A and B are shown apart, each in its own frame.
Chain A
């Protein structure tokens, strides 16, 4: 740290030192070519080859002192084309600036850090700039892309600090493998490692460790043609991140910037609960039940809970409407970022150094849900000669994450959601009272006081990451650049999870009302996992760039060598000596297991790319790559994949006009191969273990003085082939009225075949699953991007950007051995309830199956269509899981971003809409099970007969008749409640499924840049302040009054789409931000 400061001081000193002998003064005015806009204030004018510069005043006028040796002035302004103007002895220079047609001349960073002008691209690429990224101040920068890129789906697994996000581009293709894109930072691939713990996905490193302030832009490359050059891991798309490099300040050759703010998190969405009925079961009041199936709340005074030491709690039997909400507090977060950016006096050396700190605290009381991150980034480049440049970057990140677990039992959330509606949560804060601990808690049915859970459960992650690159570029010839780039990414982490020991002293309980509090006893548990992983990446590139008359040629040949390694060791112990708080493996009396995993993979790739341009009219790009992967069978580990794109700027052939100012048609075809995970080519043996029915590892070796190895349940394959994704795409870009309206539309058809599968197979084969190539999945879709500037005057501007994406996903083929051609992606089973999510042939990926209520299917019966119930009047459920007709995929997604700018004030909002699709929700089921949910007020809990229901009369000879059901369900005999908790409110297993549609106002930001003349008096170049709200509003589907549909507790990627079990509620964030640039 000391050294770093010294370095900074040194740079500041060097760069501030400039001296000129003879000078002249140049004045002038800058105006816009757009009618009505007139003079432009704030244009930067700099002297080429020096660090001198000035900006225009409010009237567009400037005055600049330049040395006599100066030859050229550079005029630049955001949204206008940059101009270089020869001075030619003039003292007055007035210029007219042309608007930049919305990024068309923008340079896009594509494969391998190669830069391309956007108009030459034959595929879809969307860039999101720094300003957009920073608006919402998301600690995890991927979340800033939500709603901004058509076809890009970001799912933040939870609102809790430090939560990982799942990112998919153009739908899910791989059933077994990863669907996450590849992240490439300044040409170097970055690991994106998440850890699943207690129903949460948290980051150990990778993309989440990049401070958003360090990012210049993020470009999403969507098609296979775009991604072919990145190799295997790019088959799901690439997110190219360009970080900020050293650059001049506006008046100095360096700038210092501070950017920081504070945020307040509050709970935004949790289940709607009823306020009519209180603690009890089957309509009767009970003192120890964990639900609200009791009598109607009447305001009387009642005792509840066990009698402990001759004492019992009393309370008023009336609803506490805000009980759950009262538990949560305001989580205060802050973030700070300092950066120094500059170039040396001779412009040969550039440097950028930053320090950032984020400290997020969630909505739980205390900091048990928090995320802290510190990063240091340093990058510099040095141009030693015209033909030689060396650049490097090095980044450190350190995070600490504390998680409040989501699981059944003594978790905070289960404790809250199963609490009877009249029992006060705020009275439970005093943990010195035995009534507020498992000892004498009001219920012994598995749950406990949320405050006690918060204080006694532990889940902490420490992670460190160091990553960066070293790159050398040499130009032996004018048209040829040779590059060598070494990239590295190293992460290590320590994860600790602790559950306290509970030992209830039953002798102090005078009356337990039939269910002993000792049922709450647990042994306590300490889990430690220490892991590390690295990725080393070498790229060798030769880049040839030349013009031959009307033709241009850019050709690249290269080689890539990549090695990835990860390892972790897990230790566990239980039956704790210290009940809580000492989370060390030495704290266990009986069990101490150790296990380890190592994984290593290598890949070599050779690739080539050539772009041939004709005038500014036609661009043809051809790519090819061959990979050799260590994870495929030796001797059969090579695979080749090509790509081609064509881009035709047809407006070049049209006469110049003011309406259609730019038009491009593009087409692309590409293929990307993907290798397997390591060690899929052989069958492994593992240390012996066996499972019980509920308990796993009920036997674990070594035991009885012997060790044992047994064959793994997964059979490897020696004939594995790479998974192949091919994609074709056509698109059009149009610009009207000099960029006031821009349209980018694309249609794509992507097919992933030869999926590398761990196929579940009948265990009677000796294995539960088999690694194989099988199945194919198609994603077809349309993306539309509309950029408009409906209003633009001198002082007022309104930008409105709309994106829309439609993706149709279909599983084209599945192995024949599977009954009905389906494979389980994820499932939930509890008792006789089960919900499965399948990939099934002929259907969209992720179709839900469950036990369904049955209806009369005989069309000749007068009862056709009626629901079948049994003798007790309860719904009859099928004996097999059946197709619900529902799947996880959104029907369409879209986003709207609107920005109003006037007099330095800018108001912007981003709306993210996802329509259609289904998810699993344990929270919904819990609301019905406990009688806390609003739906349990059906018929005011009075007896009712299942509407339009019939009973079956079977004469035993296969003749079936029906009779109208007249058996009522009532609270008194438990059948009303059974209807809810066993028959899912009459919906069977569908009671676990909710519509995952939502519209979220992701962000509203009001920002203000102080006028330059005020700032100047402070010797600063920019001050801006902003206030924002994230997740300002969430609209959910009509039948979802339970959860934020974005939530997931089943991890990330495809499996993460299954749904949630005991997810913590969603947040809304209010924030304030300040940015100062010197």
Chain B
């Protein structure tokens, strides 16, 4: 009895400190928001961008650009080879880029702005601008002006031009605040502590943005100023020295398609006949750098729109896989791309001679990045694809397509939508490979052209490149302001 009264007394006394007793709802497994610094966040945002841009977007880009085809028997990406993208398929990347990339970059931007750490601010802004450009290039329209705000659960979608102009302004603002000695927080991209290389990257990114929009908006003077200033990176901007041959630590594309980490060693991606044959026809020395030999020691590319599942001859060792290793870089922008942009600029606004020199420099840069010598590139720009200013779009289009096919397939898909080259020929995928009879006629393919896949996206139609992703299901099913999907054939703003 006494004990119970004693206990009751304790409890009643305890009630006064009830709030304290109940104040335990702080997650012990999470650091508090106040203690998290930009150096802790930044590498996490980088790897999320790398995992989307360097993996999923690279894979789909390769299929849409007819650089990749689906190998015998497997069907993981056969719909991409038919130029399809579904709302569910496009959701994961959309979610990853907005939440784990952009949201955390916002935190870094806010903290660095408050602390006036303009080097970190520029780095975070540059990756944000890069990410937003990718989103527009893939989806056409995305939430921008009302995005990343929990008080607005249904942000409107902004048109692509609005986003482009907005992020250009952000980039200019961040560049105006920074100096090359400004300190940058921990990052994997450059590893340096100063903003020097970030400034160059930001300017290269600005070049890419302006060139993309140059067909629909007069940005010649901005381009002129930027190119005259010429403060661009002198080596490829890429995550290239941070990879380890382990699960969760190797280059993302390698993990997805090559490593045995996740149990599956299934082969999906192989060379496309369009890309492979175009290179073989010009004796391009990059072929063995970009592709493995097949089982017979040959270089063979498959056909879009099929997985050869009924074939008795064209089975898995027949077509060539892209060369890839755990430490292959995730390229954000390469010197070759920068030189191609310059070549295009001079072709359109300057002299043919200047254009030609940058055209050569772009091809050479691609060769050297691939581990070849400058001399290996000579035949490409002298005999096979010599410069001709009146035909600049086709030449740059095809050579950019080839250069990016081994380094950044997503950008290849973007540039061929903008430059309209390579273009469709008259031969179709069904001509090249007859599924019913298992007859393969690679000799019908004409180098430097595209062809309609065997089975193709009927919403898009024959003889067309897929122009955009379907809006992500993770957005459209949750956001009452999400617009209805535009047609698969409708270009994003800069490719109109």
- Which of A's residues lie within 8 Å of B, judged by CB? 281-282, 284, 409, 445-446, 472, 474, 476, 482, 484, 499, 513-516, 518-523, 525, 538, 540, 559, 561, 574-575, 590-591, 593, 596-598, 600-602, 604, 628-632, 634-635, 637, 678-679, 681-686, 688-695, 697-701, 703-704, 706-713, 715, 760-768, 770, 815-820, 822, 824, 829, 831-832, 834, 870-872, 879-880, 972-974
Contact = CB atoms under 8 A, between A and B. Distances in A.
Contacts of B84: 832
A231 B24 CA distance: 20
B252 interface: yes
B266 A519 contact: yes
Interface string B304-323: 00000111100111000000
B261 to A, nearest CB: 6
Contacts of A282: 309-310
B260 A690 contact: no
A708 to B, nearest CB: 3
Given A634-B19, A684-B27, A770-B153, 8 more contacts: A482-B4, A540-B11, A634-B22, A678-B27, A693-B92, A695-B255, A699-B248, A762-B155
Nearest to B459: A879
B22 A604 contact: yes
16 contacts: A484-B4, A514-B312, A561-B11, A630-B24, A692-B51, A695-B262, A699-B47, A700-B247, A709-B41, A710-B100, A711-B99, A763-B474, A766-B148, A870-B458, A972-B436, A974-B309
Contacts of A522: 260, 263-265
Interface centre among A538, A706, A715, A834 (most CB of B within 10 A): A706
Contacts of B75: 831
B479 A764 contact: yes
A591 B472 CA distance: 33
Given A634-B22, A693-B92, A698-B256, A519 B265 contact: yes
A688 B153 contact: no
A681 B25 contact: yes
Contacts of B143: 762, 764
A765 B149 contact: yes
Interface in B477-492: 477-480, 482, 485
Contact of A628 (B22, B102, B249): B22
Contact of B30 (A684, A697, A703, A715): A684
B245 A693 contact: no
Given A519-B265, A574-B247, A712-B30, A770 B150 contact: yes
Interface in B454-476: 455, 458-459, 470, 472, 474-476
B261 A765 contact: no
B154 interface: yes
B48 A523 contact: no
Nearest to B97: A763
A697 B40 contact: no
Given A519-B266, A972-B436, A604 B7 contact: no
B348 interface: no
B317 to A, nearest CB: 7
Contact of B56 (A516, A693, A715, A765): A693
B1 interface: yes
Nearest to B27: A679
Contact of A630 (B23, B52, B147, B266): B23
Interface string B26-59: 1111110100100011111101101110011001
B226 interface: no
B216 interface: no
Most interface-central of A600, A694, A700, A824 (chain B CB within 10 A): A694
A593 B249 CA distance: 12
Contacts of A591: 246-248, 261
B264 to A, nearest CB: 8
Interface stretch (B103-111, B201-209, B362-370, B417-425): B103-111
A602 B14 CA distance: 14
B439 interface: no
A708 B22 contact: no
Nearest to B84: A832
B186 interface: yes
Contacts of A590: 245-247
Contacts of B245: 590
Contacts of B21: 602, 604, 630
B441 interface: no
Can you list the 3 inter-chain pairs with the closest CB atoms, starting with the nearest? A514-B315, A688-B44, A700-B248
Main secondary structure of the interface of B (DSSP, over half): loop
A824 B473 CA distance: 11
A42 B479 CA distance: 72
B451 to A, nearest CB: 18
Contact of A690 (B30, B47, B267): B47
Nearest to B91: A763
Contacts of B95: 713, 763, 768
Nearest to A565: B24
A764 B256 contact: no
Nearest to A284: B310
A760 B154 CA distance: 12
Residue in A521, A591, A824, A880 whose Cβ sees the most chain B Cβ within 10 Å: A880
A446 B247 CA distance: 21
A1058 B376 CA distance: 59
B244 interface: yes
Nearest to B318: A514
Contacts of B30: 679, 682, 684-686, 712
A499 B261 CA distance: 12
Contact of A710 (B48, B243, B472, B479): B48
A816 B42 CA distance: 35
Nearest to A714: B99
A709 B30 CA distance: 9
A561 B11 CA distance: 9
Interface string B72-105: 1101100100001011110011111011101110
A44 B52 CA distance: 77
B256 A695 contact: yes
B33 A685 contact: yes
Given A692-B56, A764-B142, A518 B265 contact: yes
Contact of A602 (B22, B264, B436, B482): B22
B248 A698 contact: yes
Contacts of A518: 265
A566 B142 CA distance: 41
Contacts of B154: 762, 817
Which of B149, B152, B252 gathers most chain A CB within 10 Å?
B252
A819 B256 CA distance: 33
Nearest to A697: B248
Nearest to B30: A684
A602 B18 CA distance: 10
A305 B308 CA distance: 20
A634 B25 CA distance: 9
B372 interface: no
Contact of A523 (B24, B79, B260, B476): B260
Nearest to B23: A634
Q: Which of B84, B152, B246, B482 has the most CB of A within 10 A?
A: B246
A709 B31 contact: yes
A484 B472 CA distance: 57
Contact of A822 (B106, B107, B477): B477
A590 B435 CA distance: 43
Contacts of A815: 153
A893 B470 CA distance: 43
A713 B31 CA distance: 15
B11 to A, nearest CB: 7
A88 to B, nearest CB: 39
Nearest to B148: A766
B8 interface: yes
Contacts of B45: 710
A817 B156 CA distance: 12
Contacts of B89: 832
Nearest to B60: A693
B242 interface: yes
A630 B36 contact: no
